[in-house]
Amino acid sequence: MTAKNSIFKIISIEYDNDDGVPSQYPFKVYGEETGFYTSLDKVEDILKDDQDKNDPDYIPISKFKFCYLVYEYALDDVSYEWAKSRRSYLPDGTLWVENLLNENHFIKSNDPAREFLGRPVEKQRFKKGDLVEILDGTRVTLEIVTQTPYTPEEVCEQREKEKEEFLNHDYRDDCYRTIRHNGKQSFTNVVYVFPPRLPVNDELRNKLLEMYQLETEVFLMSKNYGNTYFKLIKIKYRDENPQYPKFDVDRAILGFSSNIDNAEQSMKNDIENKEISCKRLPFGFMIEEYFLESSSYWWTKSRRIYLPDGVFLDETIIPETPYGSDYNDWEEFPGRAADRVRFAKGDLVEVLHDDNTVSLEIVTHVPWMPEEVREMHEKSVINHIHGKRLRFDASDDCYRTITPDNADTDCTHSHPQAITLFPLRFPVSAAMQKKCAEAYLMQMLSYNK
């Protein structure tokens, strides 16, 4: 098949392991671009040629190759980073799955080339409860499917139910929702989801099945309770001797509740039950509130954080969930009142990151307060050519921080959400305190130039 005005790129995904196929999950892989071709037929011929078993020194290609990825791009188009289609092939060159939706955001969302209208059941490789491999960049994890891609019937049902509020789907919605043994969810395009190829030990299998059972209980709640549910997460130390400047943690889902009171009671029960909680206190707890019966189920309505002893620490001010007919409709961030700003400039804090690391960081700016937001609104109207007012959302409820090692003069910094900051709990050495003070001073000087 020759696609007019297209080229096809082959990426060979191989095990990052001298011994070939790894022995357990997760494992590392790496990708190598092997060429560009003018047709899919030529691509598939190349993949078949890669399987030359007539070579007397032939080693099965599955010994070192995880898969092939084939991306189609438009020629003579500046939007190179957006593929026209994506396909994955097994190590033997067999087509595994394809996503034929154009990713170009300049194409109208209801254009047939871009809009996802559902994946028929017969074209879905997996069902709920299946164990799968997830290719995530250079890492492959074993996860369990909790939601399959929407079918055409489900998309039509959503369109009819939501009417003008319906959000057109695109290539990103042709995905599986999965969950890991630690409760972390993924939304992965069908192209990057594969069957398990390694033995799965009983401990990992049972933990995944436990996570699946907890997830499926959420959907049963909608028959008996209100329009939200609460997920209780326990954050535990991974390291035996955690210390600054960085250490690792794990997140474990303890259960789901129909209201915040029940969720907090479950947290207290876990703290009091030493047989379950183990000898040492956890890093802390988080309770996330989600909407039921919502196509935006991965965004939270609220999040709350708690100290190891269950004492409430902080919560989000507004939902991060969009509303209205497109993704640009968000509740506006009004600013965080002074009495809800827990840290000041120059404070040393712990920051909990999405990758389950906790780092020692220095606060260089606190969340905007209501009066600052109003002032920026007024200035934006004056300065905008059409008099439009600046809008802020849940992501703006954040601090600006630096680590002791990233205070260079180009103002390298991060913007962690307010509820991801915790007070220090371990001693900070004199040398580390000095390093933090120097980093803070350097950063402040670079901003004031």
Instruction: Indicate the range of 77-86, 245-254, 265-274, 439-448 predicted with least confidence.
Output: 77-86
Q: If pLDDT is split at 50, 70 and 90, which confidence band does 429 have?
A: very high
Q: If pLDDT is split at 50, 70 and 90, which confidence band does 409 have?
A: very low
Q: If pLDDT is split at 50, 70 and 90, which confidence band does 413 have?
A: confident
> Which pLDDT score is estimated for 327?
47
> Which pLDDT score is estimated for 29?
94
Whether residue 407 has pLDDT greater than 60: no
Q: If pLDDT is split at 50, 70 and 90, which confidence band does 318 have?
A: confident
Whether residue 251 has pLDDT greater than 50: yes
- How many Cα atoms are found within 13 Å in the side-chain-facing hemisphere of 377? 13
> Which pLDDT score is estimated for 277?
46
> Which pLDDT score is estimated for 21?
82
Q: Between 80 and 229, name the one with better pLDDT.
A: 229
Task: Give the mean model confidence (pLDDT) for residues 123-142.
Answer: 95
Task: Give the mean model confidence (pLDDT) for residues 239-244.
Answer: 89
- CA 358 to chain CA centroid, Å, is 17
Q: Between 410 and 330, name the one with better pLDDT.
A: 330
Helix spans in 148-305 (H): 152-162, 202-221, 260-272, 274-277
Whether residue 278 has pLDDT greater than 60: no
Question: Which H/E stretch holds residue 8?
Answer: strand 6-15
Using alpha carbons, select from 293, 221, 282, 228 the residue that is nearest to residue 254.
282
- CA 102 to chain CA centroid, Å, is 22
Q: If pLDDT is split at 50, 70 and 90, which confidence band does 225 have?
A: very low
Whether residue 325 has pLDDT greater than 60: no
Can you read off the two tokens belonging to residue 196?
Answer: 């398990």
CA dist 149 and 154 (Å) reads 9
> Which pLDDT score is estimated for 326?
45
Across-strand partners of 37?
8
Angle (CA) 133 294 212, round 5°: 35
Task: Give the mean model confidence (pLDDT) for residues 70-74.
Answer: 91
Task: Give the mean model confidence (pLDDT) for residues 26-39.
Answer: 92
Judge whether 384 and 365 are in contact, CB under 8 Å.
Answer: no
Whether residue 192 has pLDDT greater than 80: yes
Across-strand partners of 302?
289
* Averaged confidence pLDDT in the chain: 84
**Phi, then psi, of 30 in degrees rounded to 5:** -145, 155
Express each pLDDT in 136-177 by its tens digit.
Answer: 999 999 999 999 999 999 888 888 876 665 667 888 889 999
User: Whole-model pTM?
Assistant: 0.57
* E-strand stretches of 374-442: 400-402, 421-422
Q: If pLDDT is split at 50, 70 and 90, which confidence band does 348 have?
A: very high
Express each pLDDT in 208-218 by its tens digit.
Answer: 998 888 777 65
Q: If pLDDT is split at 50, 70 and 90, which confidence band does 330 have?
A: confident
Instruction: Indicate the range of 35-39, 247-251, 264-268, 379-383 predicted with least confidence.
Output: 379-383
Residue type, 200: V
Whether residue 345 has pLDDT greater than 60: yes
Q: If pLDDT is split at 50, 70 and 90, which confidence band does 5 have?
A: confident
Instruction: Indicate the range of 302-311, 328-337, 372-381 predicted with least confidence.
Output: 328-337
Helix spans in 163-259 (H): 202-221
Using alpha carbons, select from 70, 86, 80, 85 the residue that is nearest to residue 37.
70
> Which pLDDT score is estimated for 160?
81
